[in-house]
Amino acid sequence: RNSSDEEKLCKSIEGMGTTFIKLGQFLATRPDIISEDLSKHLEKLQDKLPPFSITEAKEIVKKNLGQSTFNSIINFSEPVAAASIAQVHKAQINDNGTVKDIAIKILRPNIKKTFNDEIDALMLLAFFVENIIAKTKRLRLVEVVFLLKEITNHEMDLRFEAAAANEFGENTKNDAGFYVPKIYWNYTTEKVLTLDWIEGISIREKELIESKKININKISSDIIQHFLRHAVRDGFFHADMHQGNIFIDDSGHIVPIDFGIMGRLDKMSKRFLAEILFGFIQRDYRKVAEVHLIAGLVPKEVPIDDLAQALRSIGEPIFGQAVKDISGGKLLKQLFDVTE
């Protein structure tokens, strides 16, 4: 059958490898920049590349952890998942007399150099486009590429991810029904990350979860509650909560994985976020407009009643609708359009 232009674009991006897959996924979260239609298609980008061999994986682990630590790892499996930056193997270690199942995440060989060479070329391209085509100034292309470079380089040092998982685990240790896998620091370096193996079902597998007599509606509501709790209470949240990164374990706990991209909010931002959400829920659009002004999200000279009216045009159509009929992307795009 004939593929649409968007499908062809996704295929060719996947063919170009890591840097472009990352850029595509990053742009998918910005419908305000690339249009809603295109961002829908880019969401389908698969972050999967063929795995590298188990021999190479063991070599990397041995080199990074040292021979004696490497020798204490048993039942090192073939790769169980492979993405563009790293892949995961299952293994076991003897943790103070208890044999534990662990997941070992290993960075792809030479990935950092490859990525940074390609992103520098993209940066140059963005610079040319921004300077030649005046209309693209608003898109801040250079800034977008630079942000992608920062985020991904962060992802490429697994000690950052380990620290993030560790902090996330501390913050949420008393949150019922939510569990962050434990990090094994003695088995973790810049290129190797070791954490508890999670025996669970990805939330993609809805039928399978239901067959285990787990209440889907409760899980959905809990995921949202937990996410808002982390954002507003802790100011530290999982910023990559797609279906591949959330599992339900045998006890029905929600278990996030992959802590490469986390978000932080300072005290004021937490307050503004809470007030904007609360204002929308209360349908107090003037209040939402005031918060936007105080937070500096729109220029000071914007007439408050006009902004409140525009916000009402976004909020009102949502009330009384089923959640499945509300598009978060569309909502954000409308909010961006209005505030712009």
Active site residues: 240
Q: In what order do the strands lie in the sheet with 254-256?
A: 200-202, 246-249, 254-256
Beta carbons within 8 Å of 236's beta carbon, 6+ residues apart: 167, 168, 171, 230, 262, 263, 264, 265
CA distance 193 to 161: 8
DSSP string of 233-249? IISEEES---GGGEEEE
CA distance 279 to 288: 5
CA angle 171, 249, 240 (to 5 degrees): 55
H helices present in the chain, as ranges = 5-16, 18-28, 31-34, 36-42, 54-65, 67-71, 111-132, 141-155, 158-172, 206-211, 216-229, 267-282, 285-294, 304-315, 328-339
Backbone angles phi, psi at 95, to 5 degrees: -100, 100
CA distance 255 to 249: 7
Nearest CA-CA partner of 266 in 227, 236, 240, 298 = 236
CA distance 14 to 21: 6
CA distance 263 to 87: 23
Return the axis-axis angle of helices 111-132 and 18-28, rounded to nearest 10°. Answer: 50
The gap between the terminal CA atoms of the chain, to the nearest Å, is 40
Backbone angles phi, psi at 80, to 5 degrees: -100, -20
